[in-house]
Chains A and B, each alone.
Chain A
Amino acid sequence: MAADALLSVRNVSKRFGAIPAVDDVTFDVAEGSITALIGPNGAGKSTLFNVVTGFVRGDSGEVLLDGQSVFRRPPHTLARRGLVRTFQLTKALSVMSVLDNMLLASPRNRGERLGLAALRPLWRGEERRARERARELLQVFGLATKANDYAGTLSGGQRKLLELARALMLEPRVLLLDEPLAGVNRTLGRSLLEHIEGLRAERRTTILLVEHDLDVVMRHSDAIVVMAQGRVVASGTPAEVRRDERVISAYLGTVTTDE
């Protein structure tokens, strides 16, 4: 394991029945890096994401966050430890306001305990601080004017922004973004990428993302992990990966079998 690895995936496997969706996958995500996970459809990227974030129970292997095992822990425990994800299909909570979406993510809010929920004075301060922080983030993401609207009224791109802003309420150490640019127009996509790069630069947030737009991946990531048929077929810097024959054959190979 590299010395600067914040997230380390070791020999992780997951089968669905007879099908090995993720097969002995090992890679590191360096602290403060933007690491991209790429590969053709069905390569096992989403399953791997789900295993790492606890949404799917892995069969074997190990996942280390800052040297400590987080393998098979439930999603909420991982989120509290700073391993926070977003989803490919955005999960904006439609019938809640944009601000409530943000506040929901605020960590360690005592008002979330049933025993204290009715005793507002005990958590009013925390709630106010969370509200200030939420408004700051909404400002940064250009959603400040939407704070009181239902999240369900936002456009697809705005929902992606909201989901990213909401994840930041948790002050993540590692942010796992599942296709953050899917279904987002170019302008908004550029703004999302700026936010992602800004996060890395300002907060040293480590980012692992799944993305299909190879142009974007090559230009914006420090390291790339290529998966095909459940396995890692190559990894390295964008320049290294671009030259790698196995990557080309992984992509072209699937293209010819798929179509």
Chain B
Amino acid sequence: MTGAALLGVTFEFLTNQDFWINVGVLATTYGVFALGIQLNIGTTGIFNFGQAGFMAVGSYTMGILVVKSGASFWLAVLAGLGTAAAAAILVGLPSLRLRADYFAISTLAFSEIVRYTADNWDGLTGGNLGLFGYTDTWNDLSARIDGWLGHLGIAPRFLLPLLVVNLAIFLVLAAFVALLVRSPWGRVLNAIREDEDAARALGKNTFAYKLQSLSLAAALAAIAGYMLAINISILSPQTFDPILTAYGFVIVILGGLGSYLGVIVGSFFLIFMLEATRYIDLPLSDERVAAVRFMIVGAVLMLLVVFRPQGLFGKKEELALRGR
């Protein structure tokens, strides 16, 4: 018996391509999701706890338009971006003027309202049986990508086309948001995080900037929602549990506040941990093994916060200066 087996872990999964494809698909989805959270929290300093709600609004818009109205997938995707951003403005208009903690609670409440609405408005959303049948356009595209990959000598593999598309979208979006944040527009967001009154005194309409930051994050959530919707082929309310938003926070903290490279690395790191710990093989019941998984992830996070509080790519000197 090897040492690894004694620990109840076998590392064979690490050589399994499907494992890595799955990690990649999930990590890119959560990564796009977390880009929005990074923009809100790391850059603007507004505590958006409703990211899962915006994701639901965007992906249900897409799903409903395709399945119930027979709209084209691409139009539905555009519409979902619009409704997610509009939802952000609707939530932000009354709540972004409130103190930070009230805003946080408002966004969390919004997220739950969306989820319960999706659960109960059966006629529109399919309720908890879910909504499906929006993947035709994707399936065609996926087959075509398989063909292109074939020309490159890569054998077709389940979810590989989604990984390719997700990865491209994630990297482009991460670069795009990082570019925005380094512009004068991003400088205003940074100033709002540091001291909103100072920014107002210098002629910045901070409320408008916070709304923009939130809407952009919501649009990113919608894109992550499409990735998830295609991956699991069914939209159901429990998919959009607030825990999703919490995962986004974990990615942002892992990667480092304000770092967009951190979002990329943090999302792969978190999903790898979550997926790899599935292979723990202990003489315990299934639900106990599931609990052990989260204990391990939690312990790793605690170690990171203790030994590297600024996250993987955060700047330590900035951490020390915050609040000065």
Contact = CB atoms under 8 A, between A and B. Distances in A.
Contact of B203 (A55, A79, A100, A150): A79
Contact of A118 (B183, B197, B321): B183
Given A118-B176, A118-B179, A170 B184 contact: no
B198 interface: yes
Contacts of A167: 202
A152 B321 contact: yes
B184 A127 contact: yes
Contact of B185 (A96, A112, A152, A153): A112
B238 interface: no
B191 interface: yes
B195 A91 contact: yes
B191 A104 contact: yes
Interface in A117-136: 117-118, 120, 123, 127
A109 B216 CA distance: 21
A84 B322 CA distance: 25
Nearest to B318: A95
B101 interface: no
A80 interface: yes
Interface centre among B184, B191, B317, B323 (most CB of A within 10 A): B184
Given A93-B190, A118-B176, A74 B205 contact: yes
Nearest to B319: A95
Nearest to A100: B187
A117 B321 contact: no
Contacts of B119: none
Interface string A88-121: 0001011110001001111101011110111010
A55 B75 CA distance: 44
B179 A166 contact: no
Interface string A159-175: 00000001101100000
A127 B179 CA distance: 15
Contacts of A150: 317-318, 321
A109 B194 contact: no
Chain A interface residue number, banded = 35 or more
B199 interface: yes
A159 to B, nearest CB: 10
A170 B197 contact: no
A45 interface: no
A72 to B, nearest CB: 14
B298 to A, nearest CB: 29
Nearest to B257: A95
B212 interface: yes
A205 interface: no
B48 interface: no
A152 B201 CA distance: 19
Contacts of A170: 202-203
Nearest to A91: B198
B203 A76 contact: yes
Contacts of B193: 95
Given A80-B203, A93-B195, A166-B202, 17 more contacts: A74-B205, A76-B204, A84-B201, A85-B201, A94-B194, A94-B321, A95-B190, A95-B318, A100-B187, A103-B184, A104-B202, A111-B185, A112-B184, A117-B180, A117-B183, A118-B176, A120-B183
23 contacts: A79-B202, A79-B203, A86-B201, A87-B201, A91-B197, A93-B190, A94-B194, A94-B321, A94-B323, A95-B321, A104-B199, A104-B202, A109-B184, A111-B183, A111-B184, A112-B185, A114-B185, A117-B180, A118-B180, A120-B183, A123-B184, A153-B321, A170-B203
9 pairs of A and B residues whose beta carbons are closest in the complex: A111-B184, A152-B321, A117-B185, A91-B198, A79-B203, A117-B183, A93-B194, A75-B200, A105-B202
